[in-house]
Structure 1
Amino acid sequence: MEAILKDPAGAVIGLDFDGTLSPIVADPAAARIHPEAPAVLAELGGHVGAVAIVTGRPVVTALELGPGLADVPGLVILGHYGFERWEDGRISAPPPPHGVLQAEAELQLLLGSLGVKGATIEDKGRAVAVHTRRSPDPEGTLAALREPLAALADKHGLVVEPGRLVLELRPPGMDKGHALGLFLAERAARSVMFVGDDLGDLAAFDAVKNSGLPGVTVCSGSAEVTALAERADIVVDGPDGVVALLRELASAYGRS
């Protein structure tokens, strides 16, 4: 934190979206960014070298669920775990992987054959996710789906990304840690903070530790996932706590 405060131009602030900047809700399509987050990020972006949102969401979805993000100076959004990139109003990305389309076409039939109730499928373009939050037994349904979804992913050359009552099938070769590491090298960062809440953010925590830079990891705490809190340097109380921490950091820059 001392390095981040003393040399803001060399600092990269990385953040997850769902559960970090946006509260977790039963319907992923109904998620919305914390109402105070865009203004705080805009203030922070005026001081630090870069603010990067690293999310499993498609870039377009993150922008739709985060009104005001497009106005944050210097913001970069790395969507689909880094397969997509939004910067200066433009999106760059490789073609969608064929395996995702094939897996999604088989998912509804698979869920029906397993007799799963309440599980919902989210089309993420370059990935497909199965949520169990609306199931009568969310944890039990998630456990019952792990093996069948792993087999389906393997069949189509995909990997399974576990999360908070969700299993996501996505292409291999990229994760939040790899995306963050590449971004730090690109920006010649001299310090880094990463804030996350879910299992997919562990790779980003590893990237902070492995970067060799002065770095701090922050967990947006919840009762659903404890693995990040055990690894984090700082634990805050959900998106409210994240926004409060970022506001404190921005204010510290303003006082210096």
Structure 2
Amino acid sequence: MPVPDLAHSVRPLTQDPRSAAIFCDIDGTLAPIVEHPSQARVPTQVAERLRDLAHRYARVACVSGRRAVDARGLVSVDGIDYAGLHGAEILRAGEDRPQLAPSVAEWEGRVRDFTATCDNPTLHALQVRVEDKGPIVAFHWRDVPDEEGAHAFLRSLAQRASEAGFATHWGRKVLEIRPPVEISKAQAVRDMVLETRPKVALYGGDDATDLDAFAALDALVAEGHLDDAVRVGVRSAEGPEEIVRRADLVVDGVEGFAEVLEQLAKSS
């Protein structure tokens, strides 16, 4: 079903694509949420549309909790940028290796050492999946036999991590142990906007970490770095209600965001 007033909502970008930037999340925005991250797929039509937009807009980038190289492998579009690990690293179009923030890199070994101590029989019995993302380690409990028990176990693990000096972040049925330094999609979006200097920017996302990117756009407009911004909230059953409340445009699921991309392609 077409989104009402979609063309009007994205008009600030489509009227002058060369002065506009497009940023978006991947999982839950471009690709449906699945039981295991490795099973995620970005529809071919969506990837093709991103490839087209990269030729027409000032900048197109995916901002993901995945590692940047994994994000690029999932989306399969070489002509755009990828900010990985929630903004801790960036892989620019045409480059082979991502750039990791030095403040994050120096904690990588300590995060791995701590999370290695969490590998115990209880974790295995609960079938919690551990994802090593370098300086960030994620614990997934989606669709495990005892989700309530797994969540309770991970709450205790998060407390231990905090007491040990690490940062913790909760997402959609995932706990991340992170370095205790600033890591956010807000910083990634801010850096890319200040580097490219578009007049208008759009960000689309579905989860709590995407609210940070919304806040970055708010600040960039308030500071005069952007003339306008469009925040697209991708509504889902598991997503935070604040995504809908803070969005300028709300769409339903990945199909709804695909319609946004299609409309962005209809530039003047």
User: Same fold by TM (over 0.5)?
Assistant: yes
* Corresponding residue to 1:162 among 160, 166, 170: 170
* Corresponding residue to 1:223 among 211, 218, 237: 237
- Identity percentage of aligned residues: 34
Report if the CA contact (8 A) 2:130-2:137 is conserved.
yes
Distance 1:128 1:153, change over 3 A: farther
Aligned-partner Cα distance in 2 for 1:165–1:144: 13
- What amino acid sits opposite 2:117 in the alignment? E
Aligned-partner Cα distance in 1 for 2:145–2:261: 37
Structure 1 residues not aligned, in runs of 5+: none
Report if the CA contact (8 A) 2:126-2:149 is conserved.
no
Deviation by residue 1:87-106 (Cα, 9 ceiling, x = unmatched)? 11332224462222112211
What pairs with 1:147-186 in structure 2 (closer than 5 Å)?
147-155=156-164, 157-171=165-179, 172-186=181-195
3-state SS, counterpart of residue 107 of structure 1: coil
Distance 1:133 1:211, change over 3 A: same
Report if the CA contact (8 A) 2:161-2:168 is conserved.
no
Distance apart, 1:231 and its partner CA:
1.6
1:105 maps to which residue? 116
- Two-structure CA RMSD over aligned residues (Å): 1.9
* Corresponding residue to 2:26 among 6, 10, 17: 17
Runs of 4+ in 1 over 3 A off after TM superposition: 112-116
Aligned-partner Cα distance in 1 for 2:11–2:128: 45
Distance apart, 1:147 and its partner CA:
3.9
What pairs with 1:1-256 in structure 2 (closer than 5 Å)?
1-67=10-76, 69-70=77-78, 72=79, 75-87=80-92, 88-91=94-97, 92-93=99-100, 94=102, 95=105, 97-109=108-120, 112-113=121-122, 117-138=126-147, 141-155=150-164, 157-171=165-179, 172-212=181-221, 213=226, 214-225=228-239, 226-250=241-265, 252-253=266-267, 256=268
Deviation by residue 1:195-232 (Cα, 9 ceiling, x = unmatched)? 11111111001111111130111122110113312221
3-state SS, counterpart of residue 131 of structure 2: strand
Aligned-partner Cα distance in 1 for 2:117–2:231: 38
Distance apart, 1:57 and its partner CA:
0.5
Distance apart, 1:144 and its partner CA:
4.4
Instruction: Single out whichever of 142-151 and 211-220 deviates more from structure 2.
Output: 142-151
3-state SS, counterpart of residue 133 of structure 1: coil
Deviation by residue 1:119-169 (Cα, 9 ceiling, x = unmatched)? 2111112211011112234355325422422422441x4311211111111
Distance 1:140 1:199, change over 3 A: farther
- What amino acid sits opposite 1:244 in the alignment? E
Aligned-partner Cα distance in 1 for 2:74–2:193: 26
Report if the CA contact (8 A) 1:150-1:159 is conserved.
no
Provide TM-score, normalisation by structure 2: 0.85
Instruction: Single out whichever of 200-209 and 31-40 deviates more from structure 2.
Output: 31-40
2:5 maps to which residue? none
Aligned-partner Cα distance in 2 for 1:115–1:30: 21
